[in-house]
Amino acid sequence: MEMCLGSSYPAIARSTSRLTPLAVLLAFFLVFSSLTYTEAYDSLDPNGNITIKWDVMQWTPDGYVAVVTIFNFQQYRHIQTPGWTLGWTWAKKEVIWSMVGAQTTEQGDCSRFKGNIPHCCKKDPTVVDLLPGTPYNMQIANCCKGGVISSWVQDPANAASSFQLSVGQAGTTNKTVRVPKNFTLRAPGPGYTCGIAKIVKPTKFISQDGRRTTQALMTWNVTCTYSQFLSQKTPTCCVSLSSFYNDTIVNCPTCTCGCQNNITQPGSCVEGDSPYLASAINGPGKYSYTPLVQCTSHMCPIRVHWHVKLNYKEYWRVKITITNFNYRMNYTQWNLVVQHPNFDNLTQIFSFNYKSLTPYGAINDTAMLWGIKYYNDLLMAAGPFGNVQSELLFRKDSSTFTFQKGWAFPRRIYFNGDNCVMPPPDAYPWLPNASPRSVGPLLLPVMVFLATLACLLVYV
Ligand SMILES: *[C@@H]1O[C@H](CO)[C@@H](O)[C@H](O)[C@H]1NC(C)=O
Ligand SMILES: *[C@@H]1O[C@H](CO)[C@@H](O)[C@H](O)[C@H]1NC(C)=O
Ligand SMILES: *[C@@H]1O[C@H](CO)[C@@H](O)[C@H](O)[C@H]1NC(C)=O
Ligand SMILES: *[C@@H]1O[C@H](CO)[C@@H](O)[C@H](O)[C@H]1NC(C)=O
Ligand SMILES: *[C@@H]1O[C@H](CO)[C@@H](O)[C@H](O)[C@H]1NC(C)=O
Ligand SMILES: *[C@@H]1O[C@H](CO)[C@@H](O)[C@H](O)[C@H]1NC(C)=O
Ligand SMILES: *[C@@H]1O[C@H](CO)[C@@H](O)[C@H](O)[C@H]1NC(C)=O
Ligand SMILES: *[C@@H]1O[C@H](CO)[C@@H](O)[C@H](O)[C@H]1NC(C)=O
Ligand SMILES: *[C@@H]1O[C@H](CO)[C@@H](O)[C@H](O)[C@H]1NC(C)=O
């Protein structure tokens, strides 16, 4: 389905000027459906989810001890500083006697207790991770990373986060325990929706030497999925394009992520050379993580620039630059997902890590790129150091390679798992003396119609 969008969409938009009203309508439908599609379900990571697993390890006189583990099964979406926040609602009158490796943000009203005071008495506790450097006696494995969880591809060893809690006033057998309800996961903002907790087969633990297996007394799982639309209503990233064969630099579409409006929203952005820059960065909203962006025509916190740099006989070369326009965010462990048909012949990549993602099985056109540890895995806040760059060398496959029709430009780019808005295909830099009317006038609407029909069939 995505291939069908990928190949027909540029062809349509490039020739909008000459299309029949029917084709325009169909093209509109295609564009519209590709947008909703991106927001609702991620075709590049169809199984991506965060699974929260509760393992009851021990019954206590008034409840149980459980180890809770948050697994990030998403290929390229990570949780960066200031980390995850997990909440739920107890089904009965449970309290948390103690926690190891995490803490609740509020204790709540424990006034009915004498002597031992619980860690938390709230009906709907909110839990956060502890910070690195927590004393050893307050740690368990996989805890205390300030709520940061890597993506599955980038660092599978750090793609989970755990804590332990002792629950009181709960059931003490697998018949009387009630699973908590209404799980919420913030990372740290909205975007995730969690399902209900399902009782599953108890987890089996294999000892270090592999000679003994133990198991949890009871286990339940909760699955949370991400939607960019829930996370933020406007885009946060855009793509600009240039090439060696045309002087035009195609900038991000104007107002992609917002518009500069000095009248209704003064201070919606700051000029890079403004004397008030420092006070604006430390001004209201400093801890809210709402972006404070440098004034640009697109107003996006992140811009990805794709430059078609060189043409060799058997290879061609691309330069990618990611620029941070947000004064309030250092992006740690950032990543980029890029879709381009030539990724199956990527020969060399400089100064970024690379892994191919194959969401469609055999079709190898999607790559995940991320920074090299201690070198460029930190994308600094806006300013002179707020960018990272890489060059990619592709081997030409004579059956597909062309500089015509914007083929050399990416089909889709994600930054940290969020879609980056591309310029409209009819604005792409053209080859000299190539016009967008390179397809026969009659053939094109027919092709558009067939492609649309194929897409419609898949959608319905
Ligand atoms: C969550 O992701 C894992 C790993 O990709 C997958 O096995 C599991 O089926 C997914 N769960 C759901 C409910 O999609
Ligand atoms: C509870 O434990 C009993 C016996 O140990 C087992 O047969 C039953 O399947 C368990 N029920 C659940 C919901 O785990
Ligand atoms: C769970 O959330 C829903 C919707 O937010 C609410 O209607 C319901 O009362 C909540 N359940 C509990 C047990 O808090
Ligand atoms: C529950 O979650 C664990 C860890 O993510 C996973 O290994 C297990 O397969 C899940 N069980 C079910 C039934 O989804
Ligand atoms: C907003 O102010 C900036 C500089 O202060 C100026 O460059 C820009 O044109 C103004 N935009 C509008 C819409 O007035
Ligand atoms: C980003 O990192 C630099 C250097 O570590 C630090 O000086 C700066 O305050 C950080 N900015 C933000 C917004 O966290
Ligand atoms: C995809 O192509 C790249 C570059 O040729 C190659 O290194 C990688 O192994 C391929 N991946 C798969 C899953 O075929
Ligand atoms: C490009 O990759 C495809 C799939 O891996 C392979 O069949 C083809 O021979 C490669 N082309 C070149 C020129 O390396
Ligand atoms: C470069 O591309 C632009 C479209 O972005 C086009 O208007 C212009 O004519 C092209 N320049 C040349 C020299 O072909």
pLDDT digits (tens, 9 = 90+) for 25-72: 444 444 443 443 334 478 889 899 999 999 999 999 999 999 999 999
The residue to mutate among 265, 273, 295, having the most atoms of ligand 5 within 8 angstroms of its beta carbon, is 295
**Do 283 and 380 fall within a single domain?**
yes
Radius of gyration of the chain, Cα coordinates, nearest whole angstrom: 26
d(CA 377, CA 331): 8
Is the backbone peptide bond immediately before 82 cis, with ω within 30 degrees of 0?
A: yes
3-8 long-range Cβ contacts below 8 angstroms, 24+ apart: 3/360, 3/363, 4/451, 4/454, 4/455, 4/458, 5/30, 5/34, 5/37, 5/455, 6/339, 6/411, 6/412, 7/451, 8/447, 8/448, 8/451, 8/452, 8/455
Residues 221, 231: contact at Cβ < 8 Å? no
Asked if the model's pLDDT at residue 190 lies above 50, the reply is yes
**By C-alpha distance, which of 229, 70, 42 is closest to 148?**
70
Instruction: Map tokens 């104007």 to a residue.
Output: 254
pLDDT at 232: 80
High-pLDDT (> 70) share of the chain, %? 84
pLDDT at 435: 56
Query: Please, how many CA atoms are within 13 Å of residue 105, restricted to the half-sphere of its CB?
Result: 10
Residues 221, 179: contact at Cβ < 8 Å? no
**Do 255 and 300 fall within a single domain?**
yes
**Do 299 and 357 fall within a single domain?**
yes
24-44 burial: b if 16+ Cβ within 10 Å, else e? eebbeebeebbeeebeeebbb
pLDDT, tens digit (0-9, with 9 covering 90-100), for 266-316: 667 888 888 888 888 887 777 777 888 999 999 999 999 999 999 999 999
Residues 178, 213: contact at Cβ < 8 Å? no
Q: Please count the other Cβ atoms lying within 10 Å of the Cβ belonging to residue 176.
A: 9
Number of H helices, E strands in the chain: 5, 28
pLDDT at 272: 81
pLDDT, tens digit (0-9, with 9 covering 90-100), for 109-132: 999 999 999 999 999 999 999 999
Whether the CB of 93 sits within 6 Å of ligand 3:
no
Residues 173, 97: contact at Cβ < 8 Å? no
d(CA 337, CA 370): 9
**Do 299 and 335 fall within a single domain?**
yes
Looking at 230, 252, 286, the residue that finishes a domain is 230
Instruction: Work out the mean pLDDT of the chain and round it to a whole number.
Output: 85
**Do 292 and 405 fall within a single domain?**
yes
**Do 207 and 130 fall within a single domain?**
yes
Whether the CB of 254 sits within 6 Å of ligand 5:
no
Q: Whose CA is nearest to atom 3 of ligand 9?
A: 429
Distance 437 CA to ligand 4 centre (A): 53
**Do 249 and 162 fall within a single domain?**
no
**Do 310 and 407 fall within a single domain?**
yes
pLDDT, tens digit (0-9, with 9 covering 90-100), for 388-418: 999 999 999 989 999 988 999 999 999 999 9
The residue to mutate among 312, 316, 345, 365, having the most atoms of ligand 8 within 8 angstroms of its beta carbon, is 345
Angle subtended at Cα 319 by Cα 301 and Cα 354, rounded to the nearest 5 degrees: 85
Provide the token pair at 328. 């309030």
pLDDT at 262: 62
| pLDDT tier, 265 (very low <50, low <70, confident <90, very high otherwise) | low
**Do 385 and 317 fall within a single domain?**
yes
Looking at 178, 204, 230, the residue that finishes a domain is 230
**Do 206 and 328 fall within a single domain?**
no
Q: Which atom number of ligand 2 is nearest to the Cα of residue 173?
A: 1
The DSSP symbol for 334 reads: -
**Do 252 and 386 fall within a single domain?**
yes
Containing domain of residue 449, as a range? 1-40+439-460
Q: Is residue 103 part of a domain?
A: yes
| pLDDT tier, 443 (very low <50, low <70, confident <90, very high otherwise) | very low
Q: Is residue 132 part of a domain?
A: yes
d(CA 430, CA 402): 12
The number of folded domains in the chain is: 3
Which amino acids bring their CB within 6 angstroms of ligand 4? 51, 53, 71, 200, 221
- Sort strands 302-311 and 237-243 into parallel, antiparallel or unpaired: parallel
Ligand nearest to C-alpha 401 = 8
pLDDT at 388: 96
**Do 144 and 198 fall within a single domain?**
yes
361-378 average pLDDT score? 92
CATH of the domain at 405: 2.60.40.290
226: β partners: 192
Q: Is residue 45 part of a domain?
A: no
pLDDT at 267: 66
